[in-house]
Amino acid sequence: MKRSKKSQYVLIVGFTALLFAQLLHTSKLLDQWEYSTWSWRERSLAKPSAFSKDIKIILLDQSSLDWGASQNGLSWPWPREVYTLLLSFMHRAGAKVTAFDILYSEPSLYGVTDDEKFAKSVANNSVVLSLFLGQQTQQNLHWPKNIAPSSVKLNGWQQWLADNNTNDKNKLNASFPIPELANAAKMLAHVNEKADDDGVFRRFSLFQVFDQQILPSLGLGTFLFDKQDKTLNLTKNGLQIAGQNIATDAQGQVILKFRGGSGTHQSFNAAAIIQAELHLQAGEPAQINPLIFKDKYVFLGFSAPGLKDLRPTPVDGDYPGVEIHATLLDNLLAHDTIKPVPALIFWSAVLFISLAASYSIIFSTTILQLAASFLFFTALPLGLGFGFYQLNFWWSIVGNEVAVIMALVNSVIFNYLTEGKQKRFIRSAFNQYLSVEVINRILDNPALLTLGGEKRELSILFSDIQGFSTISERLTPEQLVQLLNDYLTDMTDIIMEEGGTLDKYEGDAIIAFWNAPLEQPDHAMRICRAVLKCQRTLAARREEFYQRIGAWIYVRIGVHTGDVVVGNIGSKKRFDYTMLGDAANLASRLEGANKYFGTFTMISESTWLQTNQAFIGREIGTLKVVGRNTPVTVFELLGFKHEPIPAGINQYHQGLELYKKGQLKQAADIFAQLPDDPVAQVYLARCRKEQENVPADWNGIWVLDEK
């Protein structure tokens, strides 16, 4: 298929993958999977910030409740006077602020005096108290007149409220601390937590608007506590707080960057803090040094299972709610809250990746490239998701992955319907005369193949069994077929092992060539190895064949290297991958020329010169074969380079040199010393015939008048 057509399909696949992923993303069908990948990122990469050590947590855990009941006879809820001991310890320690993730919306069960003592302690300390906003509570529909207004301001909240009517005052009610405590606290903050659709808490509302008052979250309130200017500014993409821009969604929620599982921020048992304060008040040493809390942000909250303030988060299934507030404060201090990647940037990148994935598949030429493309592009969204997390961005792994997988799969389908058709044609066209390995290479990279006719240099083999007509007359049809099957199987296996292409069988004759359809720079080496292996394999079975048919089997082989036209030749419905040209005819003539010299392997000079002296051989002479005016020098292939040189070869070469010079008498004397060498005996006969009348223009060329 033309490159332009493939490029068009790449564009179609890429944009289709993008639109499909956007559709699923917008419909929120991918959220559950995306949340899972986010939890994976959080668990894998969460680590404390440089500010985590500045946050301390006091937990009302089960052991504290047990201590209160067993040692002091305190039932739940505790008298509020107990909390004055906690605040006294924080005051003694010099804590920056103490934030209570506890609601005091009802008067104390222990009477007014209990509330008064606690309110006094709150007033004498830097305390942020909590209130709850929701649709379940019916405590307040308006800001109570006996409670001071919020000190936090938000520029642009009216427009935000109009754009986001889910946070309307008509839909939210408030549970305030009792007035004594609310007015004693330096700030009030909301503790509204809202889980995502999968029930996991990974976001938090930075603020809420209630009756035209701005209520920061407990984490934000703690952050703003010591700021003189507590004014927030709504921006196009979020909220500007104390000089830093915080990305939020339309509801004012921020994505939390968790620092680790529960206990990442140093926590203390509430009972231990109370006991430490009692010891210090009595002038006794305490097990907890107050200096641990100096200038620290301190949160007080629940972790006892019975108090029902454990939340599922990406990093922990049972995460105390107070630690979520601490995490938000940590993010604000470190300036690393998570921001969604802007939609335009994200979807533009997804389109580019989808196009690249489709391109890599459609233009793949090997199975290895195809597999590498699948591995790389399916892993890329994961790498981007984890990489962007490190940069404090939420990259949608699942949205990206859906687009990539769709692009990859559609591209594979396209290749199957187009390139697959071509590969099926190739396998059908070549499986009769190419080895499986060669066919697989072509299938992996069809660009290696030119199916039309082309001019190319080939190394060509023609072979024929000596005296086969006579042999076949002596055999039954069954014996003849069995002999040919055995012989042709041996020879063909060797040819294909050396990467040759089987052109055809013509009875007992084999025609094969190298360097097509695949290019083989060492084609001359390959054909010579194949010739030697064929002759030696036949020699090893010669006795066996003799026992079966009563005749000795010898094969004559002719080899030549030259230019021919090679390709699929025939009709539109039936064709063969074959060759045409003078070089093929010459290889055929050399096979027949063996019988003039009593040899069985004859190769042309053009083949011999390309073997780089990797074989032992000898020059037979220069011939003019039937139908060809140009003489060709031919050689007999004798063995591999590392093998011993056959006896008499050096003498033969001496005689040949004399023959070429026209010194036929001297040459005849040398050839006469080689009675077992058929080639030497052919030369001896000619020397003796012509030695008395050697012409002045002697060239020693043999002119053959038969095929």
Give the residue-averaged pLDDT of 289-297. Answer: 95
Q: What is the pTM of this model?
A: 0.63
Domain termination residue (choose one: 600, 623, 645): 645
Q: Is the pLDDT of residue 439 over 90?
A: no
Q: Which helix (H) or strand (E) holds 195?
A: none
Residue 432 counted as domain residue: no
CB contact at 8 A, 175 and 132: yes
Give yes or no: residues 190 and 314 share one domain.
yes
Domain termination residue (choose one: 417, 433, 465): 417
CA–CA separation, 273 vs 59, rounded Å?
10
Residue 425: the pLDDT is 56
pLDDT, tens digit, 9 for 90 and up, residues 624-646 = 998 888 999 999 999 999 999 99
Residue 422 counted as domain residue: no
Stretch among 332-346, 563-577, 599-613 having the lowest mean pLDDT: 563-577
Residue 59: the pLDDT is 94
Average predicted confidence (pLDDT) for the chain: 89
- Those residues whose C-beta lies under 8 Å from the C-beta of residue 258, and which sit 6 or more positions away, are 42, 46, 264, 313, 314, 315, 327
Residue 673 counted as domain residue: yes
Give yes or no: residues 318 and 204 share one domain.
yes
Give yes or no: residues 357 and 472 share one domain.
no
Residue 443 counted as domain residue: no
Residue 429 counted as domain residue: no
Domain termination residue (choose one: 392, 417, 442): 417
Number of domains in the chain: 4
Residue 169: the pLDDT is 43
Give yes or no: residues 463 and 362 share one domain.
no
pLDDT, tens digit, 9 for 90 and up, residues 648-671 = 999 999 999 999 999 999 999 999
Residue 286 DSSP one-character state: -
Give yes or no: residues 635 and 684 share one domain.
no
Residue 254 counted as domain residue: yes
Nearest residue to 553 via CA among 492, 477, 504, 483: 483
Give yes or no: residues 188 and 230 share one domain.
yes
CA–CA separation, 596 vs 347, rounded Å?
78
Give the residue-averaged pLDDT of 84-106. Answer: 95
Please compute, for residue 476, the number of CA atoms within 13 A of its CA located in the half-sphere on the CB side. 3
Give yes or no: residues 514 and 578 share one domain.
yes
Stretch among 232-246, 280-294, 308-322, 572-586 having the lowest mean pLDDT: 572-586
Range of the domain at 576: 450-645
Residue 673: the pLDDT is 96
Residue 497 counted as domain residue: yes
State the Rg of the chain over Cα.
47
pLDDT band of residue 454 (cuts 50, 70, 90) is confident
Spell out the SS3 assignment of 246-304. Answer: EECCCCCEEECCCCCCCCCCCEEEHHHHHHHHHHHHCCCCCCCCHHHHCCCEEEEEECC
- Those residues whose C-beta lies under 8 Å from the C-beta of residue 33, and which sit 6 or more positions away, are 398
What does the CA dihedral 91, 93, 94, 97 come to, rounded to 10 degrees?
Answer: -70
pLDDT band of residue 420 (cuts 50, 70, 90) is low
Give yes or no: residues 655 and 558 share one domain.
no
pLDDT, tens digit, 9 for 90 and up, residues 179-213 = 999 999 999 999 988 898 889 999 999 999 998 89
- Those residues whose C-beta lies under 8 Å from the C-beta of residue 520, and which sit 6 or more positions away, are 499, 514, 526
Give yes or no: residues 531 and 609 share one domain.
yes
Residue 167: the pLDDT is 47
Give the SS3 label for residue 460.
strand
Q: Is the pLDDT of residue 137 over 80?
A: no
Q: Is the pLDDT of residue 426 over 70?
A: no
Give the SS3 label for residue 550.
coil
Provide the token pair at 342: 């802007």
Give yes or no: residues 377 and 468 share one domain.
no
CB contact at 8 A, 166 and 251: yes
List, in sequence order, every residue forming a beta bridge with 635; answer none if it has no partner: 603, 619
Q: Is the pLDDT of residue 247 over 60?
A: yes
Nearest residue to 599 via CA among 542, 536, 652, 678: 678
Give yes or no: residues 155 and 222 share one domain.
yes
Residue 138: the pLDDT is 58
Give yes or no: residues 499 and 510 share one domain.
yes
Nearest residue to 246 via CA among 298, 207, 195: 207
Residue 355 counted as domain residue: yes
